[in-house]
Amino acid sequence: MTNNQVRGWYGEWQALCFLRRKNFLILKKNWRSPWDLRREIDLICRDQECTVFVEVRSRTNSSLVSGYQSINNNKKKVLLLACRDYLRSVKHEDSCYRFDVVEIDTGLYKDELFHHENVSLFP
């Protein structure tokens, strides 16, 4: 495994633990669309009555761009399509859903975690 793969796996594990502590119910991990396997959602959760699609971004805290800022327009389009695919696959429209970003900045001595809730992704 490369350092980036290890950092990504570690970041997803940290995000999962963090969301569980916030009483999120984890529904799916690394869900891939059956219509296009390139469309992936890191975590799909329930926060009370709301379905939450979570993108996890792991970076070193020396990175020039934050994990949140690293989600470009192309990535947003792919994430939006993946979210729509998931809603279509469960065959019902949730009245409440949102998109969150969990950003993990790994440092030499301490990691920092930022939870960005209800990020603008849906039109």
> What is the pLDDT averaged over residues 15-30?
95
Question: Whole-prediction pTM value?
Answer: 0.88
- Give the per-residue pLDDT at 86: 92
Q: What domains are there in the chain, each with its CATH number?
A: 3-116 (3.40.1350.10)
Question: pLDDT band at 69, cuts 50/70/90?
Answer: confident
Question: pLDDT band at 112, cuts 50/70/90?
Answer: confident
Query: 30: which residues sit within 8 A by CB, 6+ positions away?
Result: 12, 40, 41, 42
List, for residues 35-66, the tens digit of each pLDDT value. Answer: 998 899 999 999 998 999 999 998 877 777 77
Q: Do 70 and 23 form a contact (C-beta atoms < 8 A)?
A: no
List, for residues 71-89, the tens digit of each pLDDT value. Answer: 888 888 999 999 999 998 8
